[in-house]
Amino acid sequence: MEALGEHGPSMEGIEVGGLRIELFHLYVIYQGTAPFKGARFPRGNRGLLLVLPPRIRHNASEWEVAMAPGVLTNYHTHCYLDDGSNKPEEYVRTAIASGMRALGFSCHAPLPFPQDWVLTKENLPVYIREVSGLKRQYADQIEIYLGLEVDYIPELAGPQSQSMRSLRLDYTIGSVHFVGGEENDIHLAVDGPPEEYLEAIQEGYGGDVKRLVRDYYRLVREMVAEQTPDIVGHLDVIKKNNPGGRYFDERDAWYRDEIMMTLESLAASGAILEMNTGGLARKRTDAPYPSPWIVSEARRYGIPMNVNSDAHSPEHLVHWFGEAKELLKSAGYREQLVLLGGKWQMTEL
Ligand SMILES: [Fe+2]
């Protein structure tokens, strides 16, 4: 096994325990406590230093887990108390089985008007109790964090509202799910069923989708500037009801301008932009939030990102994570900003 380390980065592949590893990445495997002497990554190499404890060297199924680069985390998780399914503990068990290092729960915070997909005021303490209990119960196996996905609705709700701050959450995800219409006095969902979206365009914006989309991004910018959350949720969720460019084209100059302005305020705020794979898991989009071209622009603005699944059921907890990380890498990201050991820190993708 130690002979493996004698191969340099020019080698094309190795076979370990019957498992073929193609070396477009460089893998260095060592035994004992010191890294293999002379192992170096040449400049520009997309290499990955893979350190394996002896116990998993020959077990192919564990190899697969061990070979997933970077630390596995997810901070966007719902449950049976809002519009997700299953008890929080089932997510925790799935996360542990996936080799996840940290799992954050982020049910939808209660709203000041009735909606069936958010926590009720009565369920909020139940949620806090359940997640806090799991945090203690599984402390030796996984880091669990208590968060909420908080809607931004001007004057009514936001991640930095007094009621949210009083909960002493570990973190918040700030999301815009409603626009207010041009009269600004109604709450029109932008990510609901297609007929609701159409209704929002017609009743709130006189049939002009461009005005609705602009209003959505204006609210995201307002949220980021005035109620900065730790993570900005599903930045371009407005595309959920736009399959095949039915209502607007992301390549249009006006749309790009909205995105650029929004990224600019995000960069100024220091908030994290999530790559959210939930639309893909639920087959509502054919790309993650945000779209790949937006990820590239976010990179140019130096905006930190992390990968989240927006899981509404345990089986979606790490859906599309491998692809998401590759996408981030192809946009130039090398790290993601994650909550570990109680503080936000950069870890290798
Ligand atoms: Fe959401």
The residues pairing with 276 across neighbouring beta strands, listed in sequence order, are 289, 308
Q: Which of 154, 155, 191, 147 is nearest to 173 (CA)?
A: 147
Homologous superfamily of 68-348 in CATH? Metal-dependent hydrolases (3.20.20.140)
Distance of CA 331 from the midpoint of ligand 1 (Å): 24
How far is Cα 186 from Cα 179, in angstroms, rounded to an integer? 8
- Asked whether 119 and 147 are in contact (CB, 8 A), the reply is no
Query: What residues does CATH 3.20.20.140 cover in the chain?
Result: 68-348
* Ligand 1 centroid – CA 312 distance (Å): 10
Residue 224 CA to residue 210 CA, distance in Å, equals: 21
Q: Could you report the per-residue pLDDT of 146-173, keeping only the tens digit for each?
A: 999 999 999 999 999 999 999 999 999 9
Three-state DSSP state, 157? strand
Q: State pTM to two decimals.
A: 0.81
Task: Please report, in tens digits, the pLDDT of each residue of the chain (349 residues total).
Answer: 333 333 333 334 555 555 544 443 333 333 333 333 333 333 333 344 444 443 333 333 333 333 445 899 999 999 999 999 999 999 999 999 999 999 999 999 999 999 999 999 999 999 999 999 999 999 999 999 999 999 999 999 999 999 999 999 999 999 999 999 888 789 999 999 999 999 999 999 999 999 999 999 999 999 999 999 999 999 999 999 999 999 999 999 999 999 999 999 999 999 999 999 999 988 888 899 999 999 999 999 999 999 999 999 999 999 999 999 999 999 999 999 999 999 999 999 9
Under DSSP, the state recorded for 75 is -
Is the separation of the CB atoms in 52 and 65 below 8 Å? no
CA of 177 to the centre of ligand 1 (A): 7
What is the distance in A from the centroid of ligand 1 to the CA of 233? Answer: 6
Question: Cβ neighbours of residue 283 under 8 Å, at least 6 residues apart?
Answer: none
Interval between CA 344 and ligand 1 midpoint (Å):
22
Span from the CA of 75 to the centroid of ligand 1 (angstroms)? 12
Show the CA angle centred on residue 330, arms to residues 324 and 334, nearest 5°: 80
Instruction: Compute, in angstroms, the gap from residue 56 CA to the centroid of ligand 1.
Output: 38
Residues 6+ apart with CB under 8 A from 278: 76, 234, 289, 308, 309, 310, 311, 312, 316, 319
